[in-house]
Amino acid sequence: MNTAASDPANGEFEPKIVAYVCNWCTYLGADLAGTNRLEYPANVRIIRLPCTGRIDFNLIVKAFEIGADAVLVSGCHPGDCHYTSGNYHARRRWMLFRELLATLGIETERVHFTWISAAEGKKFQQLISEITSTTRDLGPYHAYREICETCEV
């Protein structure tokens, strides 16, 4: 991700949001939002993965490393997983992972977790708008970017 692109000529900050979504629910929810012509901010980069249970915690770290200002992880509602239990496993994992992030001083309010079904196009639209505006208020994630810039010296 190009850092310069987030600072358009007018100097306004445009947050970059990476969304890791599951193939079976949230991706279809996003698709539904599209087919219904529901407008949501273009700040989100959607990355489709098989299941939330398959989303490695390294991907969240990686997103911050390459310049994301917020990360969204979203999948099927509990009980709805295409693979019966992937989202339950994911839920446990995130419960512990958030603790680690908090201890490391990484801002957990920039890491969002949601359940969005294939029928919830409206919820997807609202969520992306909300995350974009809260991230805009939080500002660019300089703290983690500074960590990553030291390696380019």
> By the criterion CB under 8 A, which residues form the site for another protein?
57-58, 61, 65, 78-79, 85, 88-89, 91-100, 102-108, 112-115, 127, 143, 146-148, 150-151
Q: How far is the CB of 65 from another protein (least distance, A)?
A: 6
Nearest distance from C-beta of residue 9 to another protein, angstroms: 29
Is the Cβ of residue 82 or residue 89 nearer to another protein in the bound state? 89
Residue 8 or residue 143: which is nearer to another protein going by CB? 143
Nearer residue to another protein within complex by CB, 13 or 113: 113
Is 69 within 8 Å of 15 (Cβ atoms)?
yes
| Residue bearing tokens 């099927």 | 76
Neighbours of 52 (CB within 10 A): 29
Rounded Cα–Cα distance for residues 61 and 129 (Å):
23
> Which two structure tokens, joined as six digits, stand for 31?
């698709």
Tell me how far apart the alpha carbons of residues 25 and 121 are, in angstroms, rounded to a whole number.
10
Minimum Å distance from CB 103 to another protein?
A: 4
